[in-house]
Amino acid sequence: DVKVTQSSRYLVKRTGEKVFLECVQDMDHENMFWYRQDPGLGLRLIYFSYDVKMKEKGDIPEGYSVSREKKERFSLILESASTNQTSMYLCASSPPSGTEAFFGQGTRLTVV
Amino acid sequence: DQQVKQNSPSLSVQEGRISILNCDYTNSMFDYFLWYKKYPAEGPTFLISISSIKDKNEDGRFTVFLNKSAKHLSLHIVPSQPGDSAVYFCAASSLTGNQFYFGTGTSLTVIP
């Protein structure tokens, strides 16, 4: 059974903290993605990576950075958390063909 | 600019009836389309997809129709069941690209 695993289901962090969200996939996929989901706004792409150490900005990269040191792991970093980054964060992976993205269970982040 | 649009934020249907969820896209380079289902506090799960070389794909109770000239696709669920109550996201990709473009979602409620 294919799997994308996010390190936390729920997180509560304070404003100004540096936050790390981790994602691991076991499908040997080249592509990995970070999205955030907000009511009425759907899934918005933050960053994606198509290879180790490669990254591309998505639609809303401001306030975020990413790291991909190994093929199976893609980390999202909130450099200085703010309350407007309270959201559901979703990690996904896909093969290069673009025929399906597999999602993790999501991390509900609350910044107080 | 939103390249994939779901103009109905919500839909309510009686159990046993047909649910029709709609999706429009603007980019003619898209050649693969997917539907995902999402329950609260979980990641999206893949439901059904269609290639641009087809105009219909069926999987059990779920059928996706693609009208390329209108840049429109729809998901039909027949018969609708209470367990189908979820948010449905339409997505599009290019088989030569790396990204998936998601709509804003339609929240389906199936009334027993």
Mean pLDDT by runs of 10 across the 112 residues of chain A is 88 97 95 93 93 92 96 97 97 87 95 98
Would the pLDDT of B99 be above 90?
A: no
pLDDT at position A21 is 97
Cβ contacts of A90 on chain B, cutoff 8 Å: 43-44
Query: Are the CB atoms for A31 and A48 separated by under 8 Å?
Result: yes
pLDDT at position A16 is 97
Of B41, B44, B98, Cβ closest to residue A103: B44
How far apart are the C-alpha atoms of A61 and B31, rounded to whole Å?
Answer: 26
**Any B CB within 8 A of A42 CB:** yes
Question: How does DSSP assign B26-75, residue by residue?
Answer: --TT--EEEEEEE-TTS--EEEEEEETT-SEEEETTEEEEEETTTTEEEE
Torsion angle of the four alpha carbons A7, A9, A10, A14, in this order, in degrees rounded to the nearest 10:
30
Is B43's CB within 8 Å of A104's CB?
A: yes
Is B42's CB within 8 Å of A102's CB?
A: no
**Alpha-carbon distance A6 to nearest alpha carbon in chain B (angstroms):** 10
